[in-house]
Structure 1
Amino acid sequence: MAKAPRSGRSKTRLCPPLHPEHAATFSAAFLRDTTENLMSAARLAAPDVSIAPYAAFAPAECEALVASALPPGIRLTLADGTPSMPAGIEGFGRCLMHAMQAMLADGHESACVLSSDSPTLPTELLVMAARHLAEPGDRAVLGACADGGYYLLGLKAAHAAPFSDIAWSTDTVATETRARISGLGLDLIELPSWYDIDDAASLRTLLNERHGYPASHTRSAIDRLGVQRGLQEPVPIAVLKNPA
């Protein structure tokens, strides 16, 4: 999920400690690392499982700006939530559903919506999601975040329920999504948890974490902007824990 990296409109919850233009720089770096990580996952999963990397972007007029932040080989698909949606799908859920519909309409047997706010997500978690979805039978794959959201949701059909009546941007998103999936009677496979970067505490976690994907563009932005100097206090956060 790729929001165009624009000053004053990208990663605003990181301001402060970041300036708006620096937050936009991080947004672009996160997007570049996330999509390069997808390409690494595609290489790692082949030839057993095929992964087709996408950037589902918004708003529509920023396609060129989003494309400029991507490596070659990433497909672009609009996901601004403008098409007609089933009742109950509102806010960010419309964008997620739009992306899911678009990828499945391209002929894929399954699709994942993936946060671009987790640039250090271990590549093997992406491969795990793809392998679970490649197995026979309808199912869902969820990768929860430590803050109560999720970094990945994978489906084999464009079910509306996982995006319906969700309190987006709250700490209940993953819990509510699990409940919607349970209501469909789908098998749910949960990946180990990770974290996304959307506030000062999670930015400190990024500065002190070295276990995931290397995220070279994000690390370069940290060094270039001198972020480490302004955020010395580490904030511990549980990562790579299996769900209870």
Structure 2
Amino acid sequence: MIAKSPVPGRVKTRLIPPCTPEQAAALAEAALGDTLAALARVPAGRRLLVLEGGAGAWVPPGWQVLPQSGGGLDARLAAAFAHAARIAPDAPALLVGMDTPQLDAALLAESLSPARRTGVDAWYGPADDGGFWALGLARPTEQLAGRLLLGVPMSTPDTGRALLDRLSGETLTVSRLPRLTDVDDIRDARRVATEAPDSRFAACLRSIETARKVTG
């Protein structure tokens, strides 16, 4: 998982306004908690958190925390796969962001199960905004990650298409994961909270919106 530490003013800034920096950071921490908990229920040999910023009490046991590299997001994603390849050579790796607290652990586990992995070289999780929320490689290497990710324009409506073109260019057999909504702005946040009403994220958003109505 690749993530930012939930520091006010440095995370989820597109939620500001209507949220305050502190509220946006609280939502980010809730999303982190939900996503980490979901991934903990997916069978894995190792769990790596590639983090920008300091780790807090929100990091559950069983996760190895590594610092993010420098550079743009494309370089940081490629470096995360390189980390995974060095730590566990020849093991498949799935990279997930922190913006999908509605992630269904059971569905993801089924998609990645040994029975479903036969003949699959990569996994791709499309996001509604044209990007992607997950990328998996059956045989990750630093070189392959670089060819797939370096230079891909990030955070644009064409990001996912550009990545799919790179995957096709490598002649990789790709398995599609479910389409999900990334939490970028308040409309996304409300939609995701509706999809996952029992999540930490939904509870946090309800608290924030209730407080806004009271003070407003």
For normalisation by structure 1, the TM-score amounts to 0.77
User: Which residue of structure 1 aligns with residue 206 of structure 2?
Assistant: 223
User: Which residue of structure 2 aligns with residue 196 of structure 1?
Assistant: 182
**3-state secondary structure, aligned to 2:10:** coil
Structure 2, unaligned runs of 5 or more = none
Equivalent residues, number: 207
Alpha carbons of 1:219 and 1:207: their partners in 2 closer, same or farther (altered >3 Å)? closer
Structure 1, unaligned runs of 5 or more = 43-49, 82-89, 231-244
Task: Give the letter for the 2:77 counterpart.
Answer: L
Which shows bigger deviation, 114-123 or 101-110?
Answer: 101-110
User: Which residue of structure 2 aligns with residue 111 of structure 1?
Assistant: 93
Question: Distance between the aligned counterparts of 2:73 and 2:34, measured in 1?
Answer: 22
Task: Give the letter for the 1:78 counterpart.
Answer: P
Deviations 1:185-209 (A, max 9, x none): 1111111211111112211212322
**3-state secondary structure, aligned to 1:153:** strand
Alpha carbons of 1:91 and 1:147: their partners in 2 closer, same or farther (altered >3 Å)? same
Task: Give the letter for the 1:24 counterpart.
Answer: A
For normalisation by structure 2, the TM-score amounts to 0.86
Whether 1:71 and 2:60 are equivalent positions in the alignment is yes
1:172 equivalent among 151, 155, 158? 158
Residue 133 of structure 1, CA deviation: 9.7
Which shows bigger deviation, 29-38 or 99-108?
Answer: 99-108
2:80 equivalent among 91, 99, 114? 99
Q: What does residue range 1-244 of structure 1 map to in structure 2 within 5 Å?
A: 1-42=2-43, 50-58=44-52, 62-63=53-54, 66-81=55-70, 91-107=72-88, 109-131=91-113, 135=117, 139-155=121-137, 156-158=139-141, 159=144, 160-210=146-196, 214-215=198-199, 217-226=200-209
Alpha-carbon contact 1:133-1:139 (below 8 Å) kept? no
Alpha carbons of 1:168 and 1:133: their partners in 2 closer, same or farther (altered >3 Å)? farther
More relative contact order, 1 or 2 (CA 8 Å, 6+ apart): 2
Deviations 1:191-228 (A, max 9, x none): 121111111221121232248xx42x213312332359
Deviations 1:145-184 (A, max 9, x none): 1110111000121312221221111111110000001111
Alpha carbons of 1:80 and 1:127: their partners in 2 closer, same or farther (altered >3 Å)? same
Residue 134 of structure 1, CA deviation: 7.7
Task: Give the letter for the 1:172 counterpart.
Answer: D
Paired-residue identity, %: 27
Deviations 1:15-34 (A, max 9, x none): 11111110011111111111
